Amino acid sequence: MSIKIYHNPRCSKSRKALDMIKKRITHFEIVEYLKKPLKINEIKLLLSLLKIKPIELVRIKELVWKENYKNKKLNDNDIINAIVHHPKLMQRPIITNKNKAIIGRNLEKVLDIIN
């Protein structure tokens, strides 16, 4: 099984991406990262697959970010630790397929990675 979706059921974009995957693929893995938060090494792997910096993975409009991290001088490890401690800070959905990953807010990108 190579396709994996990091999913938040409360997010409409995440639900749409999951529906799209379900219609096209029979075997895939759903990771509900709010129920089982990711570890540091898992986030680092996602970052390398996405080819982005940790701050690009953060939902900077989330209240927890604004209250605890905004306007602070943070290095990459600080940001990764913030995501570990507050999983809802992570952009969603993320879809991986073998050695590639995307943030699936754009459904066309979801189609590209699952085909």
Indicate the CATH number for domain 3-110: 3.40.30.10
Distances (CA, A) of 95 to 5, 59, 69, 105: 4, 17, 26, 10
Over its length of 115 residues, how does the chain's per-residue pLDDT go in tens digits? 589 999 999 999 999 999 999 999 999 999 999 999 999 999 999 999 999 999 999 999 999 999 999 999 999 999 999 999 999 999 999 999 999 999 999 999 999 999 8
Is 48 an active-site residue? Answer: no
Residue with tokens 């209250």: 67
Q: What is the model's pTM?
A: 0.94
Cβ(115)–Cβ(22) under 8 Å? no
Instruction: Give domain limits for the chain.
Output: 3-110
Active-site entry in 11, 30, 31, 84: 11
